A and B are shown apart, each in its own frame.
Chain A
C-alpha cells in the first residue's frame, strides 16, 4: 500500500547520494565559531591563511582512537605549517573539558580541543565513528570524510603498517590546488553514541 511512497523516498535518497558523490555538499557556515576547552574562540573559515580545516573526532576510551594519537600529532605538526587548521573534537557527552585536557596530556595531543556534546560538528561532518576525520576546503566544502589511514582493516584486523594514508593524501591534494573531489572511506573504530540526541538530529 505504501510502496509508491517508499519508492519516492528511495529515489530521493539516491539523488542525494548521487549529489554527494559527484559534487560537493553545501559549504559549512563561514561564520562557524568553535570554542575550545580553554574558552578560546576559533573561526577557521575566515582566516586568509587557512587552506584547509580538519576535524578529527576522538573518544577517550576507544583503543583504536588512542592508537592513532602519535600519527594525529605528527599530522598536526606537519600540516599546520602548510596552512591546515586541525581541531580535535570530542562528541562523547561524558567527556568534559577537564577529562579532554587530561587525555590530551596523557596521549601528547597538541591540537586545539573542542567539545561537541550537541553533535553539531559531528552532523556537519557526517561522521559516525571515532577516530574519523573530516576535511573541509577553505570555503567550507567537505572534501573528505573517513579513516586517517588503513592501519585497521576491521576490528582486530590490524596491519603491520598502513598502506594507504587517506587523510594525508586528501590534504596534499587540497594543498596542491587541484580541484577538490569529495571522497569518503570507511573508518574502523568506536561508534558515536547518538541515543541522547533530540529526534531532529538523528
Chain B
C-alpha cells in the first residue's frame, strides 16, 4: 500500500516529463522559449544555445543550473503575484532537461524540430523617440570587486516629456549587470561626473531630486526616483494603462550602473532608447514602500551573526488603488522580501515573494493585470537579513553589526510598489497617506526607542516638529549628540537660516544643499520643493 502510494506520488510529479526525451521533440521548445533570447550572438549570455550541439555540450550544466533555479534568471516565487515576462520553468520542464542529460542526449527526428525563434535585430520596441548615450566610455578593469558607479547623460530638454518605456543597450554586455535610471534636476550630478578624471562618479549619491508631489522623482516614489531599472535578461516594456513617468525639462539622466569584472578589461558606453507618450497620462503613478523610505526610519540594526533579522511594516490605503508593479531593495545580506495584502473583507492576497535575495538582481516586476486593492486594504511588507558568517554574500568575515545606510556595506530594506489611484480624484489623499505612513513609522520607532509617547494620536500636518526630530534621530551615523529635548529647534533654525543665502525668509530649491535635503522634505509640507515662510514658522513658532 505505502509503496504503491509512493510510486503514484513519484509519477504524479513528473507526469508530463518524458523518461527519454529528445532534443527536437522536447528540449528545443524549452530552450527556444526560455534561453535563446539571451544565449545568442551579441547578447549578454556567455555562450549560444541555438543548435543541438550547443545544448548537448552543456546538458549537465543546463540540468544543474535549471534545477537550482539559477537559470533562467527569475526570482519571484510562484503563487505570489503573476507578472509579465515570467521566465520560470515548470517542474516538468526541469525533469525533462534532467532526464535528457541522464539518458545520453538523443537528438530525435529532424522533422520534429520547431522553427528557431527570430529576434528583432534592432530596437525591441521599434525606433525610439530619443536615443541618448553616455558621453564617454568607462573602462572596467579585468579583476577585483564589482563596481557601482553613476554616469550622467545630459539631455537639455526644452520641455517636459512623459516616458512610457525605454531600452537599455550596453556596449560591454558581459560586464554591465544592471542599471537604475534616475533623474537629476539639481545639476549636481553633472558637476560630479568626471570631476576626478574618470567618467562618472562613485556610488549612487549626489542625485538631486525635486520634491514635486506625484512626480516620478518624488522622494517617496517607489521608482527610486527615476524612470526604472534594467538588469541582464530584462525585456523592455511600455508601461500599462497609458502610464508614463515624467522627465522634466532641463533634467539629466543619471545611470546607476553595476559592473562585474569579466577577467579582461572592457569599455562600457551605455545607450538608452526612450519612448515618449504624447500627453500627460490620465492617471498618476505613485510609489509606496513597506517599510517606507528604504527602511531608513524603521530602526534597522542587525547584530553580527544574526541569521534571521526581520523588519516589518504595514500601509493601509484610504482609497481604491491599482497595483502596477513591485520590486525590492536590499543590499548584500538581504535574504527575503515578502508582501501580502489584507482586504477589508479579511481576504489575504499574496503580492510578492523573493525567498533567496540576490543583490545582483534589483528587478522590478510588472503585474500581468493591475491588482485592485479597495480602500481599507492593508499591505504588509517583511524584509529579512542574514548577517551570519554562513552567508557567502556577507561582506564581513567575521560578521559585523550592520545598520541602515547608503553604502553597499550598510543595509536598506523595503518592498517597493508602484500604484495608481483607481480614480485620479483620489490622488492627493493617496499621496498624503503614503507620506503619513513614513511619518507614523518614524513615530513608532521613536516611541520604541525612547520608551515614551511622542506627540499624540495620528500624525497630522501640524506635528512636523515631532516628525522631524524623530527623523533626525534616525539618521544613520549622524547626529549622535542629538536627543529629544535640548535646544534642537534653535539649532535647526540656525541651520535653516544659513541655507537662506539671499535672505528673503524662504529657502529656494537652489539653496537646499545635499545634506539638508534629507530633512527639508519633512518641513516642505506641500512638497513644492521650497520652504516657504509659513512652513518655516511651523518649526519655530510652535
Contact = CB atoms under 8 A, between A and B. Distances in A.
B137 interface: no
A61 B145 contact: no
A24 interface: no
Contacts of B58: 190-191, 193
Interface in B54-108: 56-61, 64-65, 68, 70, 104-105
A159 B143 contact: no
Given A63-B174, A63-B262, A195-B57, A159 B142 contact: no
Given A62-B46, A156-B360, A107 B264 contact: yes
B476 interface: no
Interface string B376-420: 000000000000000011010100000000000000000000000
A155 B174 contact: no
Given A63-B46, A157-B392, A163-B397, A68 B68 contact: no
Contact of A70 (B46, B143, B260): B143
Contact of A69 (B57, B64, B104, B264): B264
Contacts of B260: 67
Contacts of A160: 145-146, 332, 395
B290 to A, nearest CB: 27
B64 A67 contact: no
A154 B60 contact: no
A66 interface: yes
Contact of A195 (B56, B142, B263, B397): B56
Interface string A62-91: 110011111100000000000000000000
Contact of A67 (B57, B105, B263, B397): B263
B236 interface: no
Given A61-B46, A66-B263, A159 B393 contact: yes
B261 interface: yes
Contacts of B60: 191, 193
Interface residues of A, number: 27
B358 interface: yes
Interface string A99-127: 00000001110000000000000000000
A62 B262 CA distance: 10
Given A191-B64, A195-B105, A67 B261 contact: yes
B20 to A, nearest CB: 16
Nearest to B409: A160
Contacts of B68: 154-155
Contacts of B397: 163
A141 B264 CA distance: 34
Interface string A187-199: 0001101010000
Contacts of A106: 264
A70 B143 CA distance: 6
B123 interface: no
Contacts of B59: 195
Contacts of A107: 142, 263-264
A154 B65 CA distance: 10
A161 interface: yes
A97 to B, nearest CB: 19
A103 B86 CA distance: 35
B47 interface: yes
Contacts of B65: 155
Given A153-B392, A191-B61, A193-B58, A61 B47 contact: yes
Interface in B250-266: 260-264
Interface in B28-69: 46-47, 56-61, 64-65, 68
A66 B262 contact: yes
A67 B49 CA distance: 21
A155 B70 contact: yes
Contacts of B56: 193, 195
A155 B395 CA distance: 18
A62 B61 CA distance: 11
Contacts of A161: 145
A163 B143 CA distance: 16
Given A70-B143, A195-B104, A157 B264 contact: no
Interface in A147-185: 153-161, 163
B173 to A, nearest CB: 11
A67 B262 contact: yes
A156 B70 contact: yes
A195 B107 CA distance: 13
B47 to A, nearest CB: 4
Nearest to B104: A195
A124 to B, nearest CB: 21
Contacts of A190: 58, 61
A66 B264 contact: yes
Contacts of B46: 61-63
Given A107-B263, A156-B358, A190-B61, A71 B143 contact: yes
B263 A70 contact: yes
Contacts of B392: 153-154, 157-159
A61 B264 CA distance: 13
A118 B403 CA distance: 54
A195 B62 CA distance: 14
Contact of B264 (A94, A108, A195): A108
Nearest to B264: A107
A194 to B, nearest CB: 9
A69 B144 CA distance: 11
8 contacts: A61-B47, A69-B143, A70-B142, A107-B142, A156-B70, A159-B392, A161-B145, A195-B105
Interface of A: 61-63, 66-71, 94, 106-108, 153-161, 163, 190-191, 193, 195
Given A66-B262, A67-B262, A160-B146, 12 more contacts: A62-B46, A68-B263, A69-B143, A70-B263, A107-B264, A154-B68, A156-B70, A159-B393, A160-B145, A161-B145, A191-B64, A193-B60
